[in-house]
Amino acid sequence: MSCRLLVLIALPAALSLSAQAQSTDPNPAHDSSVFLGNHRPKESKNKTPTSRSVTGKVVDGAGQPLQGALVTLTDPKNNENLTFITKKDGRYNFDDLSFTVDYQLQARYQDTVSPATKLSQYDHSPKLVRILEVSSNAATATSAESKKEAPEPKQ
């Protein structure tokens, strides 16, 4: 019994000596920048993005996603167009867009067109989300706006 008691008393002392020996490692080859636990240095989260993206969904007048809709992203300065064909869930995605360009976004499905949406260069969000509604009402609204611009001739 006294032998067991001696082991229980000596064991914590041996562990503390072992911990002290590890903390004063005389070997200079060991890396002192090893982090144990959750005491890692904080990473800088101030990385400014160099490009932006726009994602979204093309839906009909009832809000149902449209497969096979053509989403066109236009750069009016260069008159360059990028086109994306939506999949079953109606989603589209354009990556690596410049922050210094005003883009125009529009969806087309069969014979209907969504109203044009402008992506401003002054919107500094790196991830833009736009829902484009393609319906007969949207096409009617677009044609009504074009009629307002050009007055009808009097008869």
pLDDT of residue 139: 44
pLDDT of residue 25: 57
Q: Which residues pair with 128 in a beta bridge?
A: 54
pLDDT of residue 77: 87
pLDDT of 89-135, one tens digit each? 999 999 999 999 999 999 999 999 999 999 998 888 899 999 999 98
User: Which among 103, 104, 102, 112 has a CA at the least distance from the CA of 133?
Assistant: 112
Distance CA 93, CA 83 (A): 10
User: Which among 89, 83, 82 has a CA at the least distance from the CA of 66?
Assistant: 89
pLDDT of 8-62, one tens digit each? 555 555 555 555 545 555 665 555 555 556 666 666 666 777 889 999 999 999 9
pLDDT at 155 over 80: no
| Domains present along the chain, CATH in parentheses | 52-141 (2.60.40.1120)
pLDDT of 62-89, one tens digit each? 999 999 999 999 998 888 999 999 999 9
User: Which among 76, 130, 86 has a CA at the least distance from the CA of 108?
Assistant: 86
SS3 123: coil
Q: Which residue has the tokens 């004063």?
A: 24
Distance CA 117, CA 133 (A): 11
Quick one: DSSP state of residue 126?
S
Strand 52-59 versus strand 127-133 pairing type:
parallel
Quick one: DSSP state of residue 59?
E
pLDDT of 135-153, one tens digit each? 876 444 444 444 444 444 4
